[in-house]
Structure formats: structure tokens, C-alpha cells
């Protein structure tokens, strides 16, 4: 993966979990990384320090992904810091809360869709002109096994928002291929992250584990290979519009 060296990446939602693991792995291959966060400043700064301690280059950048103006500023700060953006990883997302359909309201719909779906398009809207000017680029969206299965208990909104991300990935890949911008997605299954700590009970996690042929819940680092593969032109230069499933066999398309 020598082709990753000296490239730049903006990884959203990179303060913890899969985003943090991806940011650290990118930096370990010589990439310069913008570590995006919303409210977890301490965790984001710890990721940056981990990268710098290993000899890498990174900085933390804050933005609430529900705010398109904040997204615009996040991209501007990344460009100002690094001069370019070669890889955008749209990882920021949240289930927000599990709500039975009888208790669903418009405000929850808006929040879930803004965080998980609209933010992806908003980041792409800001980054694509830069990539066009550069003559190439790479966008890696993060969807979920929930987009295939409908999600766990009372998580239909989250699942639907991730279904949007998967479908939009195909459409964006077609639109941007002529600009030498590849667009793909990674669909993690059940991964042990703060996301699960917040939204899943031990009983839910046990039920999830029982549905996974590999018999265990995944770790963030086990998702990293898919991102490295998609970020590398040497390894995946002929790959676009694809969704790579990383789920221990929980769903096999």
C-alpha cells in the first residue's frame, strides 16, 4: 500500500470505534488524517496523539454533521491544513434511539436522516469540487448490515437511513466515475464500539451474536482492511459502486 503514503484523508466520526481505527490505520500507512468529531473532543485528541506518537500526521476538526454550514467549515479547515483531500470516509452516524413505530415522530426522523444520510451528501457536495480540481478522489461511505436486514429492535429508522447510504453510493459512483472519483461503501455488522454500548442491551448483543456464523461480535480493527483496500488505487483501482460487507457471515448477499 505504498500508494497511500502522503495522501490525505478526512475521516468523519473518527474519535471512537471504527472511525478511530480507520484513522489510525491510514496514518500508519503514511497518510495525513483529519480526525473529525462532534462532541468527543478528548477522544478525538487522543486519536491524534496516538497517530503523532507513532510518527504520523493528524489534526482534530469539530463539526456537528446535522449542520451543513459546520460541514462546509470542516472541509475548508481540512483543505487549509493539508492542501487537498484524497480520501473522504463518511463514517459519522448514530441510531439516536430505538423507538417503536407507534412512538415515532417527525423530529426523530429528521435527526436520524440528517446525521446518517444528509450528512453523507453534504460532505460529498463540499469535497467533490476539490477532488475534481485535483483530477482524482476516493469516497468511502459507511453503511450497515442493518441496510440489508432492517436492523435490530425498533431500529427501522437507522436501517432506512443506512439503506439510503447504500443506494446513494451506487448513484454517486455512476455520476463521478468520469471525474476519476471512485465511490464505494463498507457495511459493518455488529461491532463492539461505543455505539453498541449506548444503544444495545447485553441481551440484544447476545441475540446478535447468536445470529453470526462466526459466533462472535467483531472488533473495530477487523473492519480496517476493507477501508485500506478501497483507499488504495493499487488494490482497488477498478472497483467503484460496491458495498463490502464485514459482518462475520451474519448476512451473505
Active-site amino acid positions: 158
C-alpha cell at 194: 461505543
Cα 82 from Cα 146, distance rounded (Å): 35
**CA of 172: how far to CAs of 120, 145, 169, in Å?**
11, 20, 5
Residue 191 DSSP symbol: B
Is there a contact between 95 and 195 (Cβ–Cβ < 8 Å)? Answer: yes
61 membership: H or E segment, kind and range: strand 57-62
Local structure of 34: helix, strand or coil: strand
Cα 21 from Cα 52, distance rounded (Å): 14
Which string of DSSP letters, residue by residue, matches 77-143? HHHHHHS--SEEEE----------GGG--HHHHHHHHIIIIIHHHHHHHHHHHHHHHHT-EEEEEE-
Amino acid at each position: 500500500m505504498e500508494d497511500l503514503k502522503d495522501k490525505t484523508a478526512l475521516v468523519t466520526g473518527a474519535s471512537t470505534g471504527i472511525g478511530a481505527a480507520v484513522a489510525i490505520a491510514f496514518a500508519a500507512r503514511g497518510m495525513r488524517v483529519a480526525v473529525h468529531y462532534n462532541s468527543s473532543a478528548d477522544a478525538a485528541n487522543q486519536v491524534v496523539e496516538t497517530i503523532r506518537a507513532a510518527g504520523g500526521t493528524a489534526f482534530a476538526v469539530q463539526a456537528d454533521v446535522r449542520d451543513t454550514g459546520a460541514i462546509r467549515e470542516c472541509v475548508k479547515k481540512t483543505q487549509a491544513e493539508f492542501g487537498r483531500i484524497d480520501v473522504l470516509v463518511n463514517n459519522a452516524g448514530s441510531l439516536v434511539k430505538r423507538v417503536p413505530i407507534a412512538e415515532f415522530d417527525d423530529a426523530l426522523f429528521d435527526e436520524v436522516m440528517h446525521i446518517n444520510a444528509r450528512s453523507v451528501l453534504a460532505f460529498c457536495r463540499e469535497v467533490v469540487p476539490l477532488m475534481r480540481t485535483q483530477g482524482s478522489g476516493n469516497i468511502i461511505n459507511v453503511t450497515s448490515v442493518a441496510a440489508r436486514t432492517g436492523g435490530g429492535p425498533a431500529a427501522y429508522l437507522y436501517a432506512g437511513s443506512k439503506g439510503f447510504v447504500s443506494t446513494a453510493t451506487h448513484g454517486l459512483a455512476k455520476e463521478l466515475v468520469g471525474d476519476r472519483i471512485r465511490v464505494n461503501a463498507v457495511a459493518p455488522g455488529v461491532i463492539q464500539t461505543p455505539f453498541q454500548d449506548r444503544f444495545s442491551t447485553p441481551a440484544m448483543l447476545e441475540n446478535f451474536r447468536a445470529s453470526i456464523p462466526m459466533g462472535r461480535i467483531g472488533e473495530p480493527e477487523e473492519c480496517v482492511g476493507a477501508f485500506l483496500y478501497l483507499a488504495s488505487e493499487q488494490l482497488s483501482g477498478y472497483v467503484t459502486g460496491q458495498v463490502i460487507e464485514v459482518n462475520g457471515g451474519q448476512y451473505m448477499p
